[in-house]
Amino acid sequence: MPLTTPTLSRRGVLSGAASLGAASAVLAAGPATSPAAAQTPAAGPAPVPAGDVISRAIPRSGEVLPAVGLGTFLTFDVVPGQKRGHLIEVVRRFRAAGGRVIDTSPLYGSGEITVGAALASIEGTDDVFVTNKIWSTGEYLADDSHARRSLDQSLGRLWREKIDVMQCHSLVNVDVVVPLMKAWKKEGRVRFVGASHHENAYQSVLAGWIGRGGLDFVQVNYSIANRAAEASVLKEAAAKGCGVLINMPFEKARLFKLVEGRPLPDFAADIGAKSWAAFFLKFVLGHPAVTCALPSTSNPDHLVENMEALRGPLPDEAMRARMIGHMESLPGFAELMSTPWYPGKRYPGLIARAQAELRARA
């Protein structure tokens, strides 16, 4: 379950990202892990047998992935010098619980570096399935110099020879970036090609790119409170055999604020949900087109709650309808999507600092 940020929108975050400047430059080289730490990583958790967790196969390859992953937007963004041991512990517990898919982006402040440092400091992480993003235009149409620098920087920060899934972030320059990612795939620099977005208004465009047949994965926003993707992206992905990663399954902590102090409904026991986190994630995983949900957190205890959704039965359509009905009965549910992200919480990382500096200058 997520922890902390000031009230903000994704557009606001991205408009402030350009002001990272010199602060971002010092992070480009790679994870801030000492040579000794890199050579003698901490003992990793004992792996959980694949059969013990809910898993989904990648449609394009048949490779099986645990159906709950780890997102890093804001939660893994820390200013250099701040303590990040709790984030290393998040990754450690994630692996112990059977998790494998970690999603990040160069736009997430120091998120890539934090992930890279965590993976470098924990044994048994070579099989972590890293999904990343590219946000690039170029000096002129079809110029790939910016994109190449971004890929090289991401590989260095993550200490990886290749990225498992590279996604065109928010469909930026998608007509150029998707063919470029296909070239990277052919060249062995990435394994799968994808595209992502987090707003309903772009879901039809995302579905259109699935329909063209060139994407191995899409990432889209979907939750019990926002089910618009069912009619477009999820439907098209199922028809075309495209993997689906889910962002915002908790609606940026707004779902937790809505149910704060409320007990789970009695029928949650029928799907093995012992927490609201598992309740919300099991709803998402109940859709057969979903490959992996990507809840974000910086709290190791909340991570454990999230990973509980990997076990026990999933809801069928009748149960999913019952879950929706219960949520619709709660005061404030109808207005939830218009409320601020991360209510009452903060993530004081590079992004927040850059935004504050930009507001002061403006």
| Per-residue model confidence as pLDDT tens digits over 350-361 | 999 999 999 999
Q: What is the pLDDT of residue 52?
A: 86
Say how many residues make up the chain: 362
What would the pLDDT profile of 260-275 be if each residue is shown by its tens digit? 999 999 999 999 999 9
Mean pLDDT of 159-165: 97
With 90 as the cut, is the pLDDT of residue 38 above it?
no
- CA 284/CA 320 separation, integer angstroms: 9
pLDDT score recorded for residue 4: 34
Q: How confident is the model at residue 46 (pLDDT cuts 50, 70, 90)?
A: low
Quote the tokens at residue 133. 């993003």
